[in-house]
């Protein structure tokens, strides 16, 4: 019924709404994730302003709880995860030598589900108030809340989470099936390895969250009683399910950052990664152990000394592969020629900061001492050291590193250094004093503290630090705006790269590689630079390239979920049904429309090669 070989060239907005190109979806993820990152950051600064002085009354009670809930939820689900997916989309297929991901259509579905889920959640600010039960949404606080905030939380994240799961499966399949000839598993760049393990973690961790959200949704929307002790339910069910997801989630976030740091340190030290196979093994081991430590979030819940001890020792064990990584990074630099570009500065800042977050992690794994640390500002300091000092510094590093490949422009290095130093110093000013605040008896998630408890000074310093971090982020924005208004100004390989993503001209052709490259070793491009003519050897003759067609259906499908989300939040079954109906219709259309994609003809590819465009 549909025509073979039909291909509509779309432009402007319609092109972005219908794209299934991994490079464009990567940019969409990065833009949307960046936008939510700014919102989450603003929420953080507002909280720090409230806590700047004791007994302050700017954002109190419910409103403060909404800020802390939305800050955590937004940063984890709507900023960090999508930015990671942005880099995975933009870079992994290139590093593999693939033309696209395995399921381009599913890739678009994943993005739009995340996007609409995030928008739905954030609309709660304007529709009766945001969720206020914390990003962990512990029952019964989350089930007894009478406003719609938690409904937005559960439905928004359920929809966004479905997108994440789809994305994770997509990258698993892509990495297993679409490696270029010669790209064996043990030749894959570390970022691709990290993406692979992260996708595996998503595959096993997110279904737990999905189940948890369904229970919470049924409890709130249909008056179920899973967590209601008066009706035979048990509140601990939620805590377990949440952390069975929640702890792997931490590794889902940090592993890609490890990958980015490995690439950047190797490139800017001009050395191959020290102990590559140990690094790969450590990544896999961290991912594996990540599923066996969730109870360390629940030491004070009362599970007894046996459970607490087992999970304590398991948690300590994670320090070992993580330590292996740290030393391998340091020895990658050993004997190298370190160039301090902005990307490298962020990576250099990452290592000691993450080590500090790691050692407090080991301290937290001691249950009897954790009874003092738990739910205090010590924990806040710890997880911001690993998530901001680890993940976010890693993402900034990746942004400066891959920006030329994604946007065909190099970010300004002077502004980049301002960005780094403001953010880095601000970060330590914000979070280092919080260790002390926790030890001195300040619980977390409090909107105020009374004067006369020796908590004033450290809180004040912390707020100053947060403002500096904000300033650093604004410098980054300025840098991006300046670069956006400048012309394409980059060579294909600005950093003297070692991996395949630097092997093609800029802008990256829509089919990535005119001819699939032949990979002859780890650091495929570096191998060619030293042993060949500096270009990849093709593994196939020039031929027709088969490409997928764009489609508006992923957008409409996700819009349907968005509408049904509203229906469930307000218990309006017509709206819920209409939204789900729209989803079914798009699924039906997707099934019956026979779309074979299109071919780029040999002559066009040859012309591109001749013109230096491929």
Partner 1 sequence: MKKWLQKGRFLSLFAMLALLLMGCGDPTLSTLIPQGEVADKQFQLMLISISIMILVLVVVFVLYAFVLLKFRKKKGDNSTPKQVEGNHMLELLWTVIPILLLIILAVPTVMRTFEFSADAKPASKNELSIKVTGHQYWWEFEYPKEELITSQELVLPADTKVHVELSSADVIHSFWIPSLAGKTDTNPGDKNKNYMWFDTGSKTDVVYKGKCAELCGASHALMDFKVRVVSKEDYKNWVAGYKAADDKSSANADGQQVFEKNCLSCHAVGQNGGNTGPSLTGFGDKDRVAGILEHDKENLKKWIKDPQEVKPGNNMPKVNLSDEEIDAVSDYLLGLKLK
Short-list 507, 535, 514, CA closest to 609: 514
Cβ at position 246, least distance to partner 1 in Å: 15
Cβ at position 447, least distance to partner 1 in Å: 5
Cβ at position 418, least distance to partner 1 in Å: 20
Question: Is residue 12 a contact point for partner 1 (CB under 8 A)?
Answer: no
The residue from 7, 10, 417, 445 that contacts partner 1 (CB under 8 A) is 445
Short-list 413, 399, 408, 417, CA closest to 484: 408
The whole-angstrom separation of Cα 19 and Cα 25 is 7
Contact 415, 478 (CB under 8 A): yes
Question: Is residue 235 a contact point for partner 1 (CB under 8 A)?
Answer: yes
Cβ at position 552, least distance to partner 1 in Å: 42
Cβ at position 394, least distance to partner 1 in Å: 17
Cβ at position 229, least distance to partner 1 in Å: 3
SS3 342: helix
Cβ at position 131, least distance to partner 1 in Å: 12
Cβ at position 586, least distance to partner 1 in Å: 39
The residue from 111, 436, 495, 511 that contacts partner 1 (CB under 8 A) is 436
Contact pattern from residue 61 through residue 100 relative to partner 1, giving x for each residue in contact according to CB under 8 A and a dash for the rest: xx-xx-----------------------------------
Cβ at position 212, least distance to partner 1 in Å: 16
Contact 318, 286 (CB under 8 A): yes
The whole-angstrom separation of Cα 263 and Cα 346 is 12
Nearer to partner 1, 87 or 377 (CB): 377
Helix 81-96 / helix 190-221 crossing angle, nearest 10 deg:
140
The residue from 2, 4, 14, 60 that contacts partner 1 (CB under 8 A) is 60
Contact 328, 273 (CB under 8 A): yes
Nearer to partner 1, 58 or 278 (CB): 278
Nearer to partner 1, 459 or 508 (CB): 459
Query: Long-range contacts: 53-60, Cβ < 8 Å, 24+?
Result: 53/456, 53/459, 53/460, 54/448, 54/449, 54/450, 54/451, 54/452, 54/453, 54/455, 54/456, 54/459, 55/448, 55/449, 55/450, 55/451, 56/448, 57/448, 59/447, 60/447, 60/448
Contacting partner 1 within 365-384 (CB under 8 A):
365-376
Contacting partner 1 within 135-154 (CB under 8 A):
138, 140-141, 144
DSSP-derived pairing of the beta strands 517-518 and 537-538: antiparallel
The residue from 453, 486, 491, 572 that contacts partner 1 (CB under 8 A) is 453
Contacting partner 1 within 253-312 (CB under 8 A):
269-272, 274-278, 300-302, 304-305, 308-309, 312
Question: Is residue 225 a contact point for partner 1 (CB under 8 A)?
Answer: no
Residue 550 exposed, middle or buried by CB count within 10 Å (0-12, 13-18, 19+): buried
Which run of H or of E encompasses 612? none
Contacting partner 1 within 318-347 (CB under 8 A):
319-320, 323-324, 326-328, 330-331, 333-340
Nearer to partner 1, 37 or 400 (CB): 400
Nearer to partner 1, 242 or 511 (CB): 242
Cβ at position 412, least distance to partner 1 in Å: 21
Structure tokens at 63: 């409103």
Distances (CA, A) of 21 to 10, 366, 548: 13, 47, 8
Question: Is residue 357 a contact point for partner 1 (CB under 8 A)?
Answer: no
Contacting partner 1 within 469-508 (CB under 8 A):
none
Question: Is residue 441 a contact point for partner 1 (CB under 8 A)?
Answer: yes
Which run of H or of E encompasses 2? none
């Amino acid at each position: 019924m549909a025509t073979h070989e039909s291909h509509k060239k779309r432009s402007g907005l319609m092109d972005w709404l219908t794209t299934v190109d991994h490079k464009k979806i990567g940019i969409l993820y990065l833009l949307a994730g960046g936008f939510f990152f700014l919102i989450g950051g603003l929420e953080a600064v507002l909280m720090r302003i409230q806590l700047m002085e004791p007994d302050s009354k700017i954002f109190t009670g419910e409103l403060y709880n909404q800020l802390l809930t939305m800050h955590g939820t937004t940063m984890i689900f709507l900023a960090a995860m999508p930015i990671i997916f942005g880099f995975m989309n933009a870079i992994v297929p290139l590093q593999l030598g693939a033309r696209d991901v395995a399921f381009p259509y599913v890739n678009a579905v994943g993005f739009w589900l995340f996007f609409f889920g995030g928008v739905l959640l954030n609309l709660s600010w304007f529709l009766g108030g945001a969720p206020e039960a914390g990003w962990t949404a512990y029952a019964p606080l989350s089930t007894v809340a009478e406003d719609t905030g938690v409904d937005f939380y559960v439905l928004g994240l359920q929809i966004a989470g479905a997108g994440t799961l789809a994305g994770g499966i997509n990258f698993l399949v892509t990495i297993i099936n679409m490696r270029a000839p010669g790209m064996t598993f043990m030749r894959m760049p570390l970022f691709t390895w990290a993406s692979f393990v992260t996708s595996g973690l998503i595959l096993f961790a997110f279904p737990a969250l999905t189940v948890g959200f369904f229970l919470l949704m049924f409890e709130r929307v249909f008056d179920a009683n899973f967590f209601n002790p008066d009706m035979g339910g048990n509140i601990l069910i939620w805590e377990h399910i949440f952390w069975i997801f929640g702890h792997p989630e931490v590794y889902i976030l940090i592993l890609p950052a490890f990958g980015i740091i490995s690439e950047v340190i190797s490139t800017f030290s001009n050395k191959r990664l020290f102990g590559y196979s140990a690094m790969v093994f450590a990544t896999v081991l961290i991912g594996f152990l990540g599923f066996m430590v969730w109870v360390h979030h629940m030491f004070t819940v009362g599970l007894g000394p046996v459970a607490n001890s087992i999970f304590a020792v398991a948690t300590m064990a994670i320090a070992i592969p993580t330590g292996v990584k740290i030393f391998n990074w340091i020895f990658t630099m050993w004997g190298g020629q370190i160039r301090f570009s902005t990307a490298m500065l962020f990576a250099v800042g990452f290592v000691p900061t993450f080590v500090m977050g790691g050692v407090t992690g080991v301290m937290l794994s001691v249950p009897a001492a954790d009874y003092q640390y738990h739910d205090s500002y010590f924990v806040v300091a710890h997880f911001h050291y690993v998530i901001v000092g680890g993940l976010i510094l890693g993402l900034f590093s990746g942004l400066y590193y891959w920006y030329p490949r994604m946007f065909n422009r190099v970010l300004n290095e002077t502004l980049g250094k301002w960005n780094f130093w403001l953010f880095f110093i601000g970060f330590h000013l914000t979070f280092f004093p919080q260790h002390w605040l926790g030890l001195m008896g300040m619980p977390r998630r409090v909107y105020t503290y009374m004067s006369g408890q020796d908590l004033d000074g450290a809180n004040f310093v912390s707020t100053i630090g947060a403002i500096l971090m904000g300033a650093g982020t604004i410098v980054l924005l300025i840098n991006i705006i300046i670069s956006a208004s400048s012309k394409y100004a980059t060579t294909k390989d600005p950093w003297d790269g070692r991996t395949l993503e630097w092997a093609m001209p800029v802008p990256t052709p829509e089919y990535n590689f005119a001819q699939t490259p032949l990979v002859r070793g780890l650091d495929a491009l570096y191998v060619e630079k030293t042993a060949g003519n500096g270009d990849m050897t093709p593994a196939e003759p020039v031929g027709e390239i088969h490409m997928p067609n764009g489609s508006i259906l992923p957008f409409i499908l996700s819009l349907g979920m968005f509408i049904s989300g509203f229906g469930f939040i307000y218990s309006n079954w017509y709206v819920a049904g209409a939204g789900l109906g729209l989803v079914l219709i798009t699924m039906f259309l997707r099934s019956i429309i026979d779309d074979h994609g299109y071919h780029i003809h040999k002559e066009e590819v040859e012309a591109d090669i001749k013109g230096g465009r491929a």
